[in-house]
Amino acid sequence: MSSDDKLDSVSYRRSGEPIPPPARRDFQIERVRTRQRSRNSGLVIYATAGFIGVAVVGLMIAAAVISLVRNPPLQAAGPPTARPTQTPIQVTATPPDSGEPTSVLPIYYVLELSATPPATATAIPTFVDATPTSAFQPVPTQFLLSNSLMVYVCFIEGHDDLCTMNADGTNQQRLTTTRGTDWYPALAADGGRVVYSTQRGGNFDIWIMNIDGSDARQITEDLGMNFAPDLSPDGSQVVFASTAGTDGRTQNIWVINTNGSNPRQLTDSAFDDIDPIWSPDGSQIVFSSNRGGTTELFVMNPDGSNIRQLTRGVNLGGRSDWSADGQWLTFYAGDPGNKNIYLLDATCAWSQIGCITEPLLLVAEGNSKGPSFSPDSQWVVFTGSNFQGDPDNEIYVVSIDGSTIYKLTNNSTSDWQPRWAP
């Protein structure tokens, strides 16, 4: 089972040094500093001689003191005072009303559902909304490819269903109305089919359907609980995480033909191997594993051979993605309730020898999860909560240099686990 939005395992901690920005990329954060200058005007009092003059002076002094107390000196005009930082309010995901107790699920579910909110928030670029309102501007269309589509989980009427929308946030459509849980969607390379995990039959199994919601059919059967499917670039196979052959909680990586034939196990670990994704050419599979103690990224050949580690000390959260141009991986990591989005140079992932790469921080705000690349590899879509006072799970896109973030959804439902069509 993927940890995306239901997984918060352990903290992500570094040595205290900030993660450097991506090479050749400019991250922009504006800061407002205020200065105030004050000027106080004095009082000059002239007195006359004699007893009567002294009495008058005393009265004038008393009146001046009363005036100063009631009307303090005015300050000179200056820049406006910076607005105080808002305290984020954490809204945890609501457990699916599936008829199955949460305890039957792997521990990642329970940890995410009880996630603690972050104490403070980190400043990020200013947002605009995909749907114009008085407070927002529309998303520029120049970064959106024609016919670009996203699929995501939409929490509607007490259940996790699947929805689609255009990459500019328009034309939101509900695909499923299952009284249970549909999640972990992924789109085929041609955008014509969706593969996902669903509990509609009681057990979590992998299903596939057309992009309009028609012709839904089951792929896995009698393989334990199955999560986080991803279609191969040629659309012939599905890689996924499964508890088959384990204690019912531990997950390994499996692959199966899209017609449901020839299921085969790729990893056989006493630890959790989760959230697999294909490389753009189908020659490699990246996945997350805690086999070394912390949850890190690994890569292997599509037959399960030559497993190599890609990160160390990251403790990532779960579902990752590989850019279509093959240059980048993206994932999320961080403390419970305070996840961040990262980029990782994919050079080591292509190497059959293997090597460790330092991640690059992309988004540090609220609780950010489930990143996925745009077809042109220039943008990353992700789920964010506690962004600029919005406690709901909403969907955002960020440029890969981190300079621009747009908000795609803005409603009272929980929108999460977005995947961009390859």
What is the per-residue pLDDT across 256-315, written as a single tens digit (0 to 9) for each? 999 999 999 999 999 999 999 999 999 999 999 999 999 999 999 999 999 999 999 999
User: Considering the entire predicted model, what is its pTM?
Assistant: 0.71
Tell me the average pLDDT across 332-360.
Answer: 95
Tell me the average pLDDT across 85-101.
Answer: 31
Q: What's residue 239's pLDDT?
A: 99
Tell me the average pLDDT across 11-31.
Answer: 33
- Give the percent of the chain with pLDDT over 70: 65
For the chain, give the mean pLDDT. Answer: 75
- Give the percent of the chain with pLDDT over 90: 58
**At residue 359, does pLDDT exceed 60?**
yes
Tell me the average pLDDT across 214-231.
Answer: 96
**At residue 325, does pLDDT exceed 80?**
yes
Q: What HEC string does the chain produce?
A: CCCCCCCCCCCCCCCCCCCCCCCCCCCCCCCCCCCCCECCCCCCCCCCCHHHHHHHHHHHHHHHHHHHHHCCCCECCCCCCCCCCCCCCCCCCCCCCCCCCHHHCCHHHHHHHCCCCCCCCCCCCCEEECCCCCCCCCCCHHHCCCCCEEEEEEEECCEEEEEEEECCCCCCEECCCCCCEEEEEEECCCCCEEEEEECCCCCCEEEEEECCCCCCEECCCCCCCEEEEEECCCCCEEEEEECCCCCCCCCEEEEEECCCCCCEECCCCCCCEEEEEECCCCCCEEEEECCCCCCEEEEECCCCCCCEECCCCCCECCCCEECCCCCEEEEEEEECCEEEEEEEECHHHHCCCCCCCCCEEEECCCEEEEEEECCCCCEEEEEEECECCECCCEEEEEECCCCCEEECCCCCCEEEEEEECC
Given pLDDT bands bounded at 50, 70 and 90, which one contains residue 74?
very low
Q: What's residue 113's pLDDT?
A: 34
Q: What's residue 386's pLDDT?
A: 87
Given pLDDT bands bounded at 50, 70 and 90, which one contains residue 354?
confident
**At residue 231, does pLDDT exceed 80?**
yes
Second CATH level (architecture) for the domain 102-420 = 6 Propeller (2.120)
Q: What's residue 3's pLDDT?
A: 46
Given pLDDT bands bounded at 50, 70 and 90, which one contains residue 139?
low
Per residue in 151-210, pLDDT (tens digit) is 999 999 889 999 999 999 999 999 999 888 999 999 999 999 999 999 987 899 999 999
Better-scored residue on pLDDT, 118 or 149: 149
Given pLDDT bands bounded at 50, 70 and 90, which one contains residue 2?
very low
Tell me the average pLDDT across 209-226.
Answer: 96
Domain boundaries, the chain: 102-420
Given pLDDT bands bounded at 50, 70 and 90, which one contains residue 147?
low
Better-scored residue on pLDDT, 115 or 146: 146
